[in-house]
Structure 1
Amino acid sequence: MKFIKSVFTILAFLFLSYSCSAQNKTKNTTTADEMLIRISEIKIEEQYLDEYIKILKYEAEASVRLEPGVISIYPMFQKENPTEIRVLEIYADNEAYKAHLETPHFKEYKSSTINMVESLKLIDMEAINAETMSKIFKKLE
């Protein structure tokens, strides 16, 4: 019986070791060509600004923390006009972006802020120096 427990323990350890190394290999295979990079330009109705920012902060944090394919959801606003929100969004690939749209936290963000948004423009971008991204965004390493 001790022999079977020992074999089972060794097999479980090997399986976990393989799983962790496979995840790390997948994580490192993202290339700049595969990434979806976008800037969202959002204008918020002034009376909803504080509430919108609270909801957006939660959604951005949850996305980066919970979704391996989300590299950046980095919200910011214009100093001169705080109702002008910009979000730098970087996803490992288009599949990560599609998966993001189906998450509960994104759906909650979208449904709870729909009446707060005056306008939304999504601008797809291309990286000029993608080689530096792994230094900036540690999640790519």
Structure 2
Amino acid sequence: MTLLPISCANQKQEVEITKSEKMMVRIAEVEIAPEYLEEYMGILKEESEASVRMEEGVISIFPMYEKDNKRSIRILEIYADKEAYELHINTPHFIKYKTSTVKMVRGLKLIEMKAIDFNTMPEIFSKLGEL
């Protein structure tokens, strides 16, 4: 009788590990030319909002900037999987973002990440609704 709960717990754990292994997480480090800063931020805000609202596989596109250097942008990108990312980069709103900001970007570094505590992630995002 005790084998069933242990088996179910292991199956749930395997599903969660599979989800976290499929998930694509990265931090984009973007440096913006000073003369384009305000224009870039407007375009980025529009693109990130549309991506999260319209794309099921986009979990997060969370842009922010360094407190002491607004030109130093960081974007936390979380996709359900590689397929969701591939769909994302082919959407009209992303293509508009890329083509309209190409002259504004002075540097771009994409850092691939892996979640350490995948199980806590839903709790983190659920707390935003409580604010």
Partner of 1:35: 23
Partner of 1:16: none
Partner of 1:137: 125
In structure 2, distance between residues paired with 1:92 and 1:135:
16
Partner of 1:100: 88
Greater C-alpha radius of gyration: 1
* Deviation, structure 1 residue 137: 2.8
Contact map agreement 1:59 1:105 (CA 8 A) in 2 = yes
Counterpart selection for 2:106 from 118, 123, 139: 118
Gaps of 5+ in 2: 1-14, 127-131
Q: CA-to-partner distance for each residue in 1:85-133, whole Å, 9 max, x for gaps?
A: 0000000000000000000000000000000000000000011111101
Q: Which has the higher strand share?
A: 2
Gaps of 5+ in 1: 1-27
Q: Aligned to 2:69, what secondary structure does the other structure show? A: coil
Partner of 2:10: none
Letter in 1 for 2:50: A
- The count of residues paired between Structure 1 and Structure 2 equals 111
Runs of 4+ in structure 1 deviating by more than 3 angstroms, as ranges, are: none
Contact map agreement 1:46 1:83 (CA 8 A) in 2 = yes
Q: Aligned to 1:76, what secondary structure does the other structure show? A: strand
Identity of aligned residues (%): 56
Give the alignment's TM-score, normalised by structure 2. Answer: 0.82
Counterpart selection for 2:49 from 28, 39, 61: 61
Give the alignment's TM-score, normalised by structure 1. Answer: 0.76
